[in-house]
A = this chain, B = another copy of it.
Amino acid sequence: MVDETSKSKILLAARSVFLRKGLAGARMQEIADTAGINKALLHYYFGNKESLFTSSFQSLLKEILPRFFGVFTTNLSFEEKVHTLGRNYVEFLSDHPQLPVMILSEIQREPKRLLDQIQIGELIDLSTLQHQLDEEAAQGNIRKISVAEFLINTISLLVFPFAAKPIFQNVMSFSDSQFQKFIDQRKSSVSDFILNALKPH
């Protein structure tokens, strides 16, 4: 059995450096230093920067995607799903505020290679969700809305505030703790906002 500590130390370090600097901005030396090992070992395990980046990105996605889309495979009611989503996102992203921008920016820079690693289809069943939305609409609980619109609106409200954190703090003159307080309120206020928006006429 192979001991994985060094390999995983490297992956952790890579994730943290890539998170801050991006692929082009990251330095192999810095990753080695962060991992507490040497550059030679980086290449011993991962060959080159690209493949280290890919591995690190992959392990990252594997960790966060279920957390983000797991709700959709549960049996929760529609309203509970929305509330759970709100809590999940805010809690996780509070600990990793740089995550959204790093993911978005690397995907924008090289969409094909990175998107192939994401098979959200396995995590979120669009037709089931659409079915649930249609059900709720038929029962008069919510307005009619497409999966696309529902998803993008929900994720936008949950994720964007973290992506825009520095600029938002600047505009609002929010300190870090003020921002965190604001974000904590969003755990419930975003789902309320969404459910209100969906209230039938």
- A interface with B by C-beta (< 8 Å): 20-25, 98, 101-102, 104-105, 107-109, 111, 115, 118, 120-121, 124, 126, 143, 147-149, 151-153, 155-157, 159-161, 163-168, 170-172, 174, 182, 185-186, 189-190, 193-194, 196-199
Among residues of B, the one whose C-beta sits closest to the C-beta of A148 is B172
Q: Which residues of B contact A143 (CB under 8 A)?
A: 196
Q: Which residues of B contact A193 (CB under 8 A)?
A: 153, 197
Among residues of B, the one whose C-beta sits closest to the C-beta of A200 is B196
A182 to chain B, nearest CB (A): 6
Q: Chain A: interface secondary structure?
A: helix
Q: Which residues of B contact A168 (CB under 8 A)?
A: 152
Contact A160-B155, Cβ < 8 Å, known A25-B24, A166-B108 = yes
Contact yes or no, B101 A104, CB < 8 A = yes
**14 A-B contacts (beta carbon < 8 Å):** A22-B24, A25-B109, A104-B164, A105-B105, A107-B166, A118-B167, A149-B186, A149-B189, A151-B171, A156-B156, A156-B159, A160-B160, A196-B198, A199-B199
Q: How many copies of the shown chain assemble into the complex?
A: 2
Contact yes or no, B170 A115, CB < 8 A = yes
Contact A120-B170, Cβ < 8 Å, known A24-B21, A25-B109, A148-B182 = yes
Contact yes or no, B157 A153, CB < 8 A = yes
Contact A109-B21, Cβ < 8 Å, known A160-B163, A171-B120 = yes
Among residues of B, the one whose C-beta sits closest to the C-beta of A106 is B105
Q: Which residues of B contact A24 (CB under 8 A)?
A: 21-22, 24-25
Contact yes or no, A152 B161, CB < 8 A = yes
Contact yes or no, B109 A22, CB < 8 A = yes
